[in-house]
Structures are given as structure tokens and as C-alpha cells.
Amino acid sequence: MTRGFKINENEKYFRYELAGSPSANMLFTTRRGGVSEGRYSSLNMGYSTCDSKENIYKNRAIVLNDFNFGIDRMTSSDQVHGVELRAVKSCSDDAGECDGLFTDVKNTVLSMYFADCTPLFFYDPVKKAIGLSHAGWRGTVGDIASKSVEFMKQNYGCCAGDIVAVIGPSIGCCCFEVGSEVEAEFREKLKSISVNEYISVKEGRAGKFYINLKAINKSLLRSAGLESENIHVHDVCTSCAKEVFYSYRRDKGDTGRMAALAFIG
Ligand SMILES: [Zn+2]
């Protein structure tokens, strides 16, 4: 079954909405509307930065307050660019080191943090399970996309054909330049899709390659059984849109983090 879908935007976040599923909340924050200053200005959500802890706490509270939640509703993990996934049963669970969080428990706010890597959101309107995963280039090469679908099938009895996915804001192939070692990993490890279609070169940039991570993740989700119409790509580049997003690459590593938040209300 395919579902109507729209993106609503306010200053602080993009909200991905599915027709007929008002209880599915999937959000991606911007850098606007918070209290952090300087290079972290202003809605920095991530503690893995040198920003003041107090400001990050306030920023998280500002966002959650829109939903009448305290920050004690948030659960997160230590993201390690791997492919481990966890089922969260309550917001006090310690998810440890992993790069995907899933739940079917209401009002448990899953959170992951990004500054260029690709956020993947998942929701199954039939089984009412929701999830998030962190697909940087390593997670993408490790096929965290289809591992996430498999995880939802095993843990919540989902059918791939019912799952809706959002591929959120991340670095585009305009800016995601890599050398030949990284390019070789994509070619060697992703055999289930025709990866050549998603790798390009530019004149004057010999030995460099431009990889379309969003399109690769979409293709991996298709090969995992999702309907094309149920995969929504938010086609914006975090490195190009500097008024809206932090970018690890553009800002040379010292920058804030956007949050991907997912919960069933
Ligand atoms: Zn770009």
C-alpha cells in the first residue's frame, strides 16, 4: 500500500508527515531557533561537540517542549558508524553503541545526531513500529538500510511492503567527494545494487569521486522490498545549505549536530 506524504517545515525542524498516520512523528532539526553561539549557532543538539552542555540541554528542551515532552523522554545511543541495531522498550533504556534505534512503545523519543551523514527514518503504519538509523558512508556500505528493514520484520512482524521510509537531509553528491579507497569499498561491498549509477567524477578533480549516498540508500531499501512510492527522499545538501544545517565536511569537523527524532505519539 502506498501512502500520501508531505514535509512540513518550521524554523526549528522539518516534519515528515504521512496521511492517515498522525501518531507517527519523524523530525529532523535545523540549526535555527536555539541558544548556542558562534560556530554552534544556534540549535546544536549533539553532545559530541565542544559546545556548552548547558546550551545543548536547553536546545533539546526547546524542541521537545513543542510536543509537551521533557528531555527525559529521549533515548539515544553512542553512534559508532557500525550496523548494530537495537529495540528500545522504554526511554530509560541504555542503547549503548549502535547505529539504529527502533520501538513500538508510545512516547519514547528515539534520537540520533547528524552533520552530513544520512538519516533513515522508518515507520510501519500496520504494526505501529518506528525507527531511525545512521547511514554515513560506512553505514551505507554496510547496508544498514536493508538491515533496518530486516530488523523491523524480525522484531515487530513488519512486512517490507508496509514500511514507509524517509531519507533525510544529508550531504549530496555535489559535495561528498571521496578518494579511490572509499570509492572501491562501495564497488566491492555493495553487490545487490548497480552502484556505478551513483558514482560520478568531475572535470579537473582527477582521482576523486562523488557518491550519491541518498540514491544508494533508496536503492538498498528497494532491494529490501520497500515500494518506491513509500521511500521519500528529502533532497537537500547539508553542506550547500549553510544557513539551515551544520556540515561536518564544510565546517572542517568543528560544528554542531542536527537531531533526527522519531516517536509514536
Ligand atoms: Zn552540496
Is 142 a member of any domain? yes
Q: 170 CA to middle of ligand 1, Å?
A: 9
Q: 256 CA to middle of ligand 1, Å?
A: 18
As a whole number of angstroms, the distance between CA 222 and CA 168 comes to 16
Neighbour tally for 19: CB within 10 Å: 10
The pLDDT value given to residue 223: 97
The pLDDT value given to residue 89: 94
Q: 211 CA to middle of ligand 1, Å?
A: 11
The pLDDT value given to residue 92: 83
Q: 242 CA to middle of ligand 1, Å?
A: 10
Q: 175 CA to middle of ligand 1, Å?
A: 4
The full DSSP string for 58-70 is HHHHHHHHTTT--
The full DSSP string for 190-252 is --SS-GGGGEE--TT-TT-EEE-HHHHHHHHHHHTT--GGGEEE---BTTT-TTT---TTTTT
Q: 7 CA to middle of ligand 1, Å?
A: 20
The pLDDT value given to residue 94: 82
Is 89 a member of any domain? yes
**Model confidence pLDDT, tens digit, residues 184-241:** 999 999 999 999 999 999 999 999 999 999 999 999 999 999 999 999 999 999 999 9
Is 227 a member of any domain? no
Q: Which residues 6+ apart lie within 8 Å of 134 measured at CB?
A: 79, 81, 99, 100, 112, 114, 117, 118, 119, 120, 144
Instruction: Find the CATH number of the domain harbouring 18.
Output: 3.60.140.10
Q: 241 CA to middle of ligand 1, Å?
A: 7
Q: 240 CA to middle of ligand 1, Å?
A: 4
Is 226 a member of any domain? no
| 2 pLDDT higher than 70 | no
Q: Are 79 and 134 in contact (CB under 8 A)?
A: yes
Q: 236 CA to middle of ligand 1, Å?
A: 8
* pLDDT classification of 1: cutoffs 50, 70, 90: low
Rounded mean pLDDT of 35-42? 97
Q: 265 CA to middle of ligand 1, Å?
A: 34
Q: 34 CA to middle of ligand 1, Å?
A: 24
Q: 172 CA to middle of ligand 1, Å?
A: 5
**Number of structural domains in the chain:** 1
Pick the closest to residue 52 from 62, 63, 64, 40 (CA basis).
Answer: 40
| 3 pLDDT higher than 80 | no
Is 241 a member of any domain? yes
Q: What percent of the chain has pLDDT over 90?
A: 96
Is 110 a member of any domain? yes
The pLDDT value given to residue 107: 96
Global pTM value: 0.97
Rounded mean pLDDT of 21-31? 97
| 147 pLDDT higher than 70 | yes
Is 150 a member of any domain? yes
Q: For the chain, what is the mean pLDDT?
A: 96
Q: 214 CA to middle of ligand 1, Å?
A: 12
Q: 196 CA to middle of ligand 1, Å?
A: 20
* pLDDT classification of 149: cutoffs 50, 70, 90: very high
**Model confidence pLDDT, tens digit, residues 87-131:** 999 888 888 999 999 999 999 999 999 999 999 999 999 999 999
The DSSP call for residue 107 is T
* pLDDT classification of 135: cutoffs 50, 70, 90: very high
Is 194 a member of any domain? no
Q: Are 60 and 71 in contact (CB under 8 A)?
A: yes
* pLDDT classification of 80: cutoffs 50, 70, 90: very high
Sheet holding 24-29, edge to edge: 5-9, 13-18, 24-29, 258-264, 109-114, 74-75
Q: Are 146 and 98 in contact (CB under 8 A)?
A: no
**Structural domain boundaries, residue 55:** 5-170+232-264
